[in-house]
Structure 1
Amino acid sequence: MIYLEQLFAAVDDYFIEKLVENDPVFDQILANNQKHQLPPHDVSPSQGKFLYLLAKIKGAKRILEIGTLGGYSTLWFAKALDNDGQVISLEYDKKHAEVAQENLDFAGVSNRTTIIVGTASDSLKKMVHTQTAPFDLIFIDADKENNSVYLQYALQLSTPGTIIIGDNVVRDGAILDSSSSDGRVLGVRSFVDDLATSKTLTSTAIETVGVKGYDGFTISIVE
């Protein structure tokens, strides 16, 4: 198993070197996150590039990100947008939000990124109440216990054709454990059940291996 993990990481490194442009701004963001002792939960460079390409393929103008951390994935989304595009990112932790804002200012994308600090469910509820314009792409990457709550709000902030991505859904295979007492696993299982029974979503899941270990994501489209 150790050999396979090393192999997966080496292959991931190969594709990153070949296919992901070497942008020192991303390296600086990760270094700044580490300096401020943020947890290393950012997407990998390959995954960030994948999110960028999805936004490009969609032709997204408005992106909602639930869970900012240090703004690494936020920057990937921002790079996919024209100057009139907008990424709205929700972050519970004030310190994380401050570091992320510092990073996005450094990257020069603060004109098309907005970080909203507070409990994501409260922020989403307010957005629904104020009839915020729908989003073209929604990335759910926050506390997994509330994934189902976030999905319900995401659907209210969507329009036919909106892409909804749920990150970290495999969790080293723990998703299979129906008897788990881990709230994160239970939250993801509930989220997947919601996707499976939704009458307005068409969904699939992709497993991933590499420098971030064994995990995966769901991808859905609003019909």
Structure 2
Amino acid sequence: MSSVLTDEVARFVAATAPEPDETLVEMDEYAAAEGFPHVGPAVGSVCRLVARMVDAERIFEFGSGYGYSAYWFAEALPDDGEIVLTEVDADELELAREYLREGGYDDRARYELGDALETVERYDGPFDVVLIDHQKHRYREAFEAVRPKVPVGGALVADNAMKAGIIEFEKLLAIAEGGDPDAVNEHTRGIADYLDAVRTDPAFETVVLPLGEGIAVSYRVE
């Protein structure tokens, strides 16, 4: 993962962030060893904070990888809470199960192998928090699919709102400032379309936080 922060500021954020438990440390080490692009502890701690602030009881993830963000979220859930993990890679989903079991959160997790957009259609709301972290060109589609299932007082968190290896930040910035650069790849356009959708939706208040690779946090106000 490449942070949008300078190295010095990223070090400060890491030094002042909540301490991860032993399982999260193990998960961070796995990401570093395998080159896995997880959200990292700074974003993970914000995910947990958002879940705590909205008193989340049910959470849905569009893209869960090996369970890193889900683990942070699970720590904020009550004992009878539920988090739905979605992943297209069976091995990663099984690894997520192992880590959540290790942390004592397996009983509140549901593991769904397959396309997240197909999975969410099988679930009734409400979902108090939704993480969008799958294919970038499908972010807006994910928002439209889950929007009716997010109650007033619920929140969306979208990763890679500023940066990723496939996102052209200068063109994303130009779009955000009202321009329309030529030859924008579908991933960059997908993030731009998502941000436009949540920022212009009167039911949501959205801010982009420059942590990790950028996260857009949207709170449902009506």
Segments of 5+ residues of structure 2 without an aligned counterpart are: 175-180
Mean Cα displacement is larger for which, 113-122 or 195-204?
195-204
Q: Secondary structure of the equivalent of 1:165?
A: strand
Q: TM-score, normalised by structure 2?
A: 0.84
Q: TM-score, normalised by structure 1?
A: 0.84
Q: Structure 1 counterpart of 2:157, which letter? A: I
Give distance in 2, aligned partners of 1:19 and 1:33: 19
Tell me the residue number matched to 1:205.
Answer: 208
Q: Structure 2 counterpart of 1:185, which letter? A: T
1:84-132 Cα distance to aligned partner (Å, 9 max, x none): 11111211222221121121122221011112110111112222xxxx1
Instruction: Note the C-alpha offset of 1:82.
Output: 1.5
Superposed, which structure 2 residues align to 1:33-112 within 5 Å?
37=34, 39-112=35-108
**Of 169, 173, 183, the match for 1:176:** 173
Q: Secondary structure of the equivalent of 1:111?
A: helix
Q: Secondary structure of the equivalent of 2:37?
A: coil
Tell me the residue number matched to 1:123.
Answer: 119
Give distance in 2, aligned partners of 1:32 and 1:207: 24
Count of aligned positions: 208
Evaluate the alpha carbon distance shift between residue 160 and residue 115 of structure 1 in structure 2; reply closer, same or farther with a 3 A threshold: same
Segments of 5+ residues of structure 1 without an aligned counterpart are: none
Tell me the residue number matched to 1:186.
Answer: 189
Instruction: Note the C-alpha offset of 1:7.
Output: 8.0
Give distance in 2, aligned partners of 1:220 and 1:18: 24
Give distance in 2, aligned partners of 1:6 and 1:197: 24
Mean Cα displacement is larger for which, 18-27 or 103-112?
18-27
**Of 211, 216, 219, the match for 1:218:** 216
Q: Secondary structure of the equivalent of 2:6?
A: helix
Give distance in 2, aligned partners of 1:147 and 1:6: 20
Give distance in 2, aligned partners of 1:181 and 1:11: 30
Q: Secondary structure of the equivalent of 1:122?
A: helix
Q: Secondary structure of the equivalent of 1:80?
A: coil
Instruction: Note the C-alpha offset of 1:156.
Output: 2.0
Give distance in 1, aligned partners of 2:129 and 2:83: 10
Q: Secondary structure of the equivalent of 1:159?
A: coil
Is contact 1:180–1:186 with CA below 8 Å preserved after alignment? no
Tell me the residue number matched to 1:11.
Answer: 9
Q: Secondary structure of the equivalent of 2:122?
A: helix
Tell me the residue number matched to 2:24.
Answer: 26
Q: Structure 2 counterpart of 1:119, which letter? A: D
1:33-68 Cα distance to aligned partner (Å, 9 max, x none): 566x4x521112121111111111111111111110
Is the aligned partner of 1:153 residue 2:145?
yes
Give distance in 2, aligned partners of 1:126 and 1:192: 26
Give distance in 2, aligned partners of 1:188 and 1:109: 31
Which one has the bigger helix percentage? 1
Q: Structure 2 counterpart of 1:147, which letter? A: Y
Instruction: Note the C-alpha offset of 1:6.
Output: 11
Q: Structure 2 counterpart of 1:47, which letter? A: V
